[in-house]
Structure formats: structure tokens, C-alpha cells
A and B are shown apart, each in its own frame.
Chain A
């Protein structure tokens, strides 16, 4: 009794708290989305040396912004000010892109250093941009036609950050940057970004990669990419990113130093480890109990109880039994589970001298199935009855395999057909064909989408976990039954209790508008 109370307290109180404690907390974003994100560049080919400013629009400044306030452009020769207003940009001035605006300052004196900021009053609140500068007004070389805003000006990516890629075995540095205002135009003339890396901030820098235009995180308008090219753990690197616009390039600021390293534990998988540990502990506990001779009750599984009956029916009718182990390879747990049942079926067919056929769609499955059938015939004392042709290969192709098995079923009219393993769209094609010839059919799969088809077309269906329980259920070996009990009782008790507790918390959170719903979702995200 005391044990049960302790387990109850652990599951209801301590476990949820432990999970909350160790789940990966959300990190503050390395690249923020401040208002404006102001940048300024010297206007190309302007012999007067004007400066072009670009900033991202504020929330509300969109197509429907009929009454959005004007942006006021301020300039100073010093970072701390004083700033004076040099112009305004009103809502009805066409925007350079959907999410950015530009302003050209032509009232500059060549050689002068300038700092800029943008200010707007939205709903009574004054929102200021970052101060950008200094930028030295330098007359450009005479070139093409005078440039009109927003044509062919390449704006650099901003807020470049680089950090060691988390939860990996090193050799990788992740870069994030706010996209260039030129990229925001979504124009074909924007040719993406080049990534440059160097061992010191003074260079030399080498191009180590490139990427397309667009964003990885649309909320923050941020591009994220990992550099894994010849990175040596522990070595310091410096980066800059160049935006490519219509033959021009605009470089971000240099960021560094940054080093890559290996991590010993994947921080996003802590909750998984705890839950898996509990499940494994529960399974091992019941295995030990079973080994100690404790009687374990296992509920009846109709599909497995019917195996003997199905084999007997085929024997009485003098017809063959078909065993279809799915269309996946030996690395799929369902295939392995399916083959464990094959061992039992093969043993029965050997005892009853009933013909067994196992058409397979994977070569490795063929080899494994042969071993299993051979061993079963040997154990049944009928090695003479075994031959390699019991298990044969048809094709790896999904519908080719379905066509092959259907053809065999129609022609040979087996009395019993087993479908045990992983199935996809061919499940109903196979099962309906078997049904049409009146065969008794026992299916088992862990593909939830195929279960309704098998239920509709087969006499018995092992649903999901029953397929994995088959081996233990049929063999009745204590150790296997113990593991079954551990999975059934320990696993389900823990997971259902947790589900119930978190559903209650999430429901309360949803009604109170708390962020707890997001937190709970994050807890169980495996990344």
C-alpha cells in the first residue's frame, strides 16, 4: 500500500515538476527585431555624395496605412546628438519594398561624418530607431544614370551573430543575420548572400558558403545558416556576410571571435531521457518479478488467440498459408515484430505439415525469414519439411509487390493469410483480395492510417502495440511477459497520468490566457 501511495505522489507531483525543471528553456533570440533596424549607405554613382537610408517599417505601416504617422528623419554630426530633423517620409510615399522604406539625404557636405536616426509617433508613443553612423559623405564616381530610390542600392545584412551550433559534435558554427533591406524586395535581382570567414578580424577572409535570398524565421526577418565547412573545434573564427544585389555587394559588419565545440548532452532531450528511463526501469522491474516466478496476468488478444485456429483451418482444407511481413526492411521494428510471429506460425505449419509461403519485398527480410522458418521447422522436429523456397523474394517496389502477392493469392487461393508488419497504401489492396477468395485473414500493423483498412477487410487485427506484444504473448516466456507487463502497466500508467495532469494544466492555462500551454508543448518537443 505504501509503495502505491509513494508511486502515486511521484507520478502526480514530483514527475511533472521534474519535467518542468529539466525541460529546455527558450533562449532569447540572438538577433532581435528592433523597430526600424536603420542602415545607411553612400548612394552609388552620386557625384554629390548623398546618403541613402533604409529601415524596416513599423507595425501598422502597410498597404492599408491611410493614417499612419510620418517618419521623421533626424541627423547629427555626433552620436549623442543633438539631432535635427532633415525631412519626413509620409505614409503615402511609395515604399521601397513591402516591409521597408528609404530616404535619401542630399543635403550633406562632402567629407562630413553623419549619424542618423528615424522617429515616429505611434498611438502617442514615440518610437526611435537605432542611431546609425558615422557615415562619411563621399562623392561617388560618375557612372550610370542618376539613381532613383530604391533602385540598385545594395543594403547590407545587419545584426550578424555567430555562435557554436548547439547539441552537436562540433565542427559547426551557426550564423544568423537580419536580412538586407534589398532582400526584402523579393526581387530576382537579389542574388542571395555570400558567407566569408577569416581567422582574424583583419582578414584575410575566404568565401565559405552562400545561400539564397529569403528568411529562415519570418517573424524576426532573420536568415539562419550553419557553416560546417572545415571548422576545427576550439579555433577562433570571424565572419561577415555580403548581400548580392544586381551585381553589387554590401557587407555586414564583422562578427567574432567564435569557436565551435562538442556537447556532451543534447539539452533538448532531457525530458525524453527521464521518461525513457522510467519506462525502461518499469520494464526491467517487471522482468525481474517474472523471473522471480510471480504470476503475471496478460489480457487476451483475439488476433493472437486465432493463430492456432487459422493454421488449423488451412490444414483441414489442405490449402496453403500465406505470410506477408510488410514492405519495410529489417531496420523497421514492425518487420521484426512481424517476423517473430512468423516463427510461431512456421512451427505450427511444420507440426501440421501445412504448406507455408512467405513472399517478401526485401532481400534482408528474406534472409532473416528463412532463418526463422528453418529454425522453427527444426524445433518442431520437421527439418525435412523445410526448403528455402518457402520464403521467396518478389520485388522492392510497393505496388509491384502488391500485384505479385495479389496474383499469388488469386491463383493459389490460400486458406489463411497473415499480414504482419509495416504496410502503406497496399494494405487494403492486399486485404480485400484475400477477403475476396474467402481466406481467414489476421493482420497486424503499427501504421495507424492502415488500421481501419485491415479492420474492415480482415477477420482479426492486431492494433499497434498488440503487434509488438505478439512474441511475448505467443511464447509465454516469463521474461518476455514481464517486459510486456512493464510496458503495459508502468509505461501506460506514467504516460496516461502525465497526459491527464498536463491536459488539466493546459486547459486551465488556455482559459486564463497564460503562456503555460506553449511551455507544456515545448517540454515534450523532441528536437
Chain B
């Protein structure tokens, strides 16, 4: 029964959503909305599991003085700092309102840290490009050439060095051709494959053929 009940629930919910996509008539819309609400409620409760798990593991690390245990201290302090400030130090306002303690932490600590992580992407793009764009063989050379045209074509430099060529042959135009035709064609092919994969996987799950996400083979 431990396996069958989730399978039956999955089938009911999956078939309901499938029918609702084509049949707007009652009770399909109401049923699908109810199932969506249930999902939101379960997710909301599950966040406790995540938070408690994070604290449990972090406290254990500190208690056992595991390697790098002081990182766990940072996690614990950050967790409780934002929780306590959000709950008790909002000055009588909603914790999300501008000027609250939570808002201050969000703007001055969280946002800069997030932006820093995001900014690292620029350096990683450079290092990954350096590796990917080596002309090791014919295919890699084509990739390198396409990358050069696209990158140079997106800057004034690209048109500057090809100013004497007919307009259609300038780098900005070639760059657009690569992005609008070759790139779009490739992306669409991948998207079609993904869509077929999603339909097939959904069908397997709804029919109960696919059970590995429930812990089975």
C-alpha cells in the first residue's frame, strides 16, 4: 500500500490536470485549482522540514567540532538573525516594509551577497569560453569562428573592421544571421525533444510505469 497510494494519487491528479487543459467545464477547473492549493499547502509545511534539517546538521557540526565547523556557526547566526529581526524588530511595521530591520538586512547584506555571486558568472564565462573556444578540431574551429562573429558583431568594433564590406556581410549582420537562424533552429530542435520527453515522462508517471521517483526501480 505504501507504493500504491502515491501511484493512485498521482494518476488521479495527473489525469485531472490533463483533462482540465481541454475541458474548462465544471468540475475540472475547480478540481485542478484544489489540487494546486493542496500542493501549495504541502510545500508551505515542508519548508519547516528544510529549515529544521539545516539547523540540525549545522548544530551537529558545531557540537562535534567537525572540519570547517565555523561555517556552520555562520549559517546558524545568519538564520536566527534574520528570523528574529523579521519577527520581533520591525518597529510595529510589516517586516517587508521599507525601513524595517528585515528590509535593512535584505538591502545591505543579502542583496550585495547575491549580486556578488551573480557577478562571479562573468569570470566563469571567461574561463569556460577560454577552454571551449580552442580550435582543437574542425568542429571546435567552427564554434570558435561563430563565437567570434557573434561577439564582435555585437560591438561597434565588429562593424568598424568590416565597414568596407557590403552591408549584408558586416559582422553585425552576420551575427544576427547566426543568432536568428542557426541558433534558433538548434534551440527549437532541442525544445521539441524536451517537450516530447516531458510528455513521455508525464505519461509514464501518470500510468504508474515510472516509479523511480517514489524510490522504486
Contact = CB atoms under 8 A, between A and B. Distances in A.
Interface of A: 167-170, 262-266, 269, 272-273, 276, 279-280, 283, 287, 329, 331, 333, 336-337, 339-340, 343-344, 362-364, 366-368, 371-372, 374-376, 379, 389, 392-400, 402-403, 407, 411, 425-426, 428-429, 431-432, 435, 446, 448, 451, 453, 455-457, 463-465, 467-469, 471-472, 475, 477, 479-480, 483-484, 486-488, 491-492, 495, 499
Contact of A465 (B124, B197, B212, B214): B197
B50 A363 contact: yes
Does more than half of chain B's interface fall in helix, strand or loop, or is it mixed?
A: helix
A518 B131 CA distance: 44
Contacts of B199: 276, 279-280, 283, 487, 491
Contacts of B29: 168-169
Contact of B132 (A456, A465, A484): A456
Interface in B179-217: 187, 190-194, 196-205, 209-210, 212-217
Contact of B21 (A269, A464, A468): A269
Nearest to A452: B132
B63 interface: no
Contacts of A367: 46, 49
A265 B28 CA distance: 11
B46 A265 contact: no
B57 interface: yes
B108 interface: no
A517 to B, nearest CB: 17
Does more than half of chain A's interface fall in helix, strand or loop, or is it mixed?
A: helix
A366 B204 CA distance: 22
Nearest to B57: A392
Interface string B39-73: 10011001111110110010000000001100100
Interface of B: 21-26, 28-30, 39, 42-43, 46-51, 53-54, 57, 67-68, 71, 113-114, 117-118, 120-121, 124-125, 127-129, 131-132, 187, 190-194, 196-205, 209-210, 212-217
A453 B204 contact: no
A241 B13 CA distance: 42
Given A336-B201, A465-B197, A366 B50 contact: yes
Contacts of B48: 363
A483 B209 contact: yes
A167 B20 CA distance: 11
A283 B124 contact: no
Contacts of A389: 57
A169 B26 contact: yes
Contact of A340 (B57, B68, B114, B212): B212
B110 to A, nearest CB: 8
B22 A468 contact: no
Contacts of B124: 428-429, 432, 457
B102 to A, nearest CB: 15
A66 B217 CA distance: 78
Contacts of A287: 209
Contacts of A375: 215-216
CB-based closest 4 A-B pairs:
A468-B197, A375-B215, A363-B50, A465-B193
B203 A266 contact: no
Contacts of B198: 333, 446, 468
Given A287-B209, A487-B200, A273 B190 contact: no
A364 B71 contact: no
Contacts of A486: 200
A367 B43 CA distance: 11
A483 B193 contact: no
Given A329-B43, A407-B71, A339 B212 contact: yes
B5 to A, nearest CB: 13
28 contacts: A262-B24, A262-B25, A262-B26, A266-B22, A269-B21, A272-B21, A279-B199, A333-B202, A339-B213, A362-B46, A362-B50, A371-B215, A372-B212, A374-B215, A397-B114, A435-B128, A453-B125, A456-B131, A457-B124, A464-B197, A468-B194, A468-B200, A480-B210, A483-B204, A483-B209, A487-B196, A487-B200, A495-B196
B205 A336 contact: yes
Contacts of A262: 24-26
A411 B68 contact: yes
Contacts of A400: 113-114, 117
Nearest to B30: A169
A20 B193 CA distance: 24
Contacts of A339: 212-213
Given A389-B57, A464-B190, A455 B68 contact: no
Contacts of A394: 54
A475 B117 contact: no
A451 B201 CA distance: 20
